[in-house]
Amino acid sequence: MASALEYTALIFLLFMFSGTSWAKIQRPAKRLAPALIVFGDSTVDPGNNNNISTVLKANFLPYGRDFTGHRPTGRFSNGRLTTDFLAEGLGIKETVPAYLDPGLTPEDLLTGVSFASAGTGYDNRTAKAFSVIPIWKEVEYFKEYGQKLGKISGAENATRILNEAIVIVSMGSNDFLVNYYVNPYTRIQYNVAQFQDHLLQIGSNFLQEIYNYGARRILITGIPPLGCLPIERTVRNIYKQEQGCLEDLNQHAISYNIKIQKMIDFLRPKLPGIKIFYADIFSPLLKMVQNPAKYGFENTRAACCGTGLIEFSYICNRRNPLTCSDASKYIFWDAFHPTEKAYEIVAEDILKTSIRQVL
């Protein structure tokens, strides 16, 4: 039976997001969770890659040009990420810092951090492609993080924070885009369905590990409509000459997302006390692409940076004269990643749906 606090939280969220199709996320008067903890890839990496030896970074302009202070942080966006907006919508804080940020404070730790690394995935081969943080290392950081919480606030309070924190897991796209579609050895070893099952087995083990270290309220995202990403439409259309999104890639994402939900349903009864649910990012992004005017977008085919067709990371830099002046009119910031506005719309959708299930 839901507690009075849970009912209050749900009523607040319903009130906060009723009405418009895209309302600016506002911070509630009362914090709805003690912390937001994040695992994943570039969609939720606020700058961990700044502190490792990899070419996959976004710590230079124009990345971050619409962030507070107009400064690059390592986020693959012109501003904030979905997880930043989720933290704000839960009343926790405005941004989720990178765990490897050397300036991390005790308060940062108490209210949640991100272990995410741009370029990573469930399969270790995915992380190796760009020498980024593999999923098993993110788990090690989480274990270390729990120990730090214990030293800051005491073991009992640290356990409470870990148990009550909202945990976001967002990865999987790179396993297809960087690994499966590019690496011929992976395709020899697996067909698409087999590769999906391979990722899900790793994901299942990962979820059980973070459960063992205290995670209890978990949202695991699916993957976005891969066939709508500017980079895929550019590269694949050289051969296929398709005008819209690439349906085969989108179908791969759909079938994978269905399997994620089945995996979650399988795991839930095996892990006592867990609240684990699926967070849909495929549908809100596809809706933006299919009906951009509803959200105030003007460009769905190309990204803001450069030509908008192939640029990302170091190819998207301040010396590129073609970068757009108003990113809010674009769904995509670079050829792989959404704009801050698109990230906020996804966050709004999650706050109206999935978040309610784990509060």
Backbone angles phi, psi at 64, to 5 degrees: 80, 10
**pLDDT tens column, 75-128:** 999 999 999 999 999 999 999 999 999 999 999 999 999 999 999 999 999 999
Q: 230 near 301, Cβ under 8 Å?
A: yes
Give the active site residues.
42, 334, 337
- 145 CB-near residues (< 8 Å, 6+ apart): 37, 99, 109, 113, 115
pLDDT of residue 130: 95
Stretch 300-326: mean pLDDT: 78
pLDDT of 15 above 60 = no
pLDDT of 9 above 70 = no
C-alpha pair distances (Å), 214 with each of 133, 142, 156, 200, 217: 21, 9, 12, 21, 9
CATH class of 4-14+27-229+247-291+341-358: alpha beta
pLDDT of 221 above 60 = yes
Cis amide linkage into residue 72, ω under 30° from 0: no
pLDDT of residue 231: 87
**pLDDT tens column, 253-296:** 999 999 999 999 999 999 999 999 999 999 999 999 999 999 99
Mean pLDDT over each residue of the chain, to the nearest integer: 90
pLDDT of residue 12: 37
Task: Report which DSSP code applies to 121.
Answer: -
Q: Does residue 40 or residue 22 have the better pLDDT?
A: 40
Stretch 231-243: mean pLDDT: 69
**pLDDT tens column, 239-257:** 555 568 999 999 999 999 9
The fraction of the chain above a pLDDT of 90, given in percent, is 79
pLDDT of residue 225: 98
Distance between start and end Cα atoms, the chain: 12
pLDDT of 4 above 60 = no
C-alpha pair distances (Å), 322 with each of 307, 308, 317: 6, 9, 10
pLDDT of 189 above 90 = yes
C-alpha pair distances (Å), 24 with each of 173, 292, 295, 354: 27, 17, 12, 18
- Note if the pTM is more than 0.85: yes
pLDDT of residue 26: 79
Q: Does residue 343 or residue 26 have the better pLDDT?
A: 343
pLDDT of 47 above 90 = yes
pLDDT of residue 321: 66
pLDDT of 320 above 80 = no
- 107 CB-near residues (< 8 Å, 6+ apart): none
pLDDT of 3 above 50 = no
pLDDT of 1 above 60 = no
**pLDDT tens column, 125-172:** 999 999 999 999 999 999 999 999 999 999 999 999 999 999 999 999
The domain limits of the chain are: 4-14+27-229+247-291+341-358
Task: State the pLDDT confidence band at 323, using cuts at 50, 70 and 90.
Answer: confident
Q: Which residues pair with 39 in a beta bridge?
A: 169
